[in-house]
Amino acid sequence: MSHLYNILKSFFLSFYRSMKGAIKISGIDQYVIDFVIKLRDRHNLNQDDIATILGVKRTFITNVESAKNRAKYNLSHIDKLADHFGLSPKDFLPQKSTIK
């Protein structure tokens, strides 16, 4: 019995440590984040530039892009970015649902 307990304990501790740093995020939120990163790279912009466009601090953008501390873009952010880049807000969204 103690051998099985030690195996399970080891498994759950390992699992907990691996999940501890990462925060789950929905597929649609990740899609928007990835789209903004690609847009930023395509236009040779940095996080400060995106923060200025949105009227937020750079640390907010850092948190959005971090797997450990996930902030999210909201609809107002998407609208501001769409306006700045001459896009439609719907361009920031996937064509189909990301729910599996």
Q: Per-residue pLDDT for 11 more than 90?
A: no
Return the pLDDT at 92. 97
| Domain contains 61 | yes
CATH number assigned to the domain comprising residue 33: 1.10.260.40
pLDDT of residue 54: 98
Do the beta carbons of residue 36 and residue 92 sit within 8 Å? yes
Residue 64 in any domain: the answer is yes
What is the DSSP secondary structure assignment for residue 69, as one 8-state letter?
S
What's the pLDDT score for residue 67?
Answer: 84
Instruction: Note down the domain range covering 60.
Output: 25-100
- Is 8 domain-assigned? no
Angle separating helix axes 58-65 and 27-42, nearest 10 degrees:
120
Residue 19 lies in a domain: no
- For 57, the 3-state DSSP assignment is coil
Q: For residue range 88-98, what is the model confidence (pLDDT) as tens digits?
A: 999 999 999 99
Give a yes or no: residue 76 inside a domain.
Answer: yes
How many domains is the chain built from?
1
21 CB contacts (<8 Å, ≥6 apart)?
A: 67, 68
Residue 31: per-residue pLDDT: 95
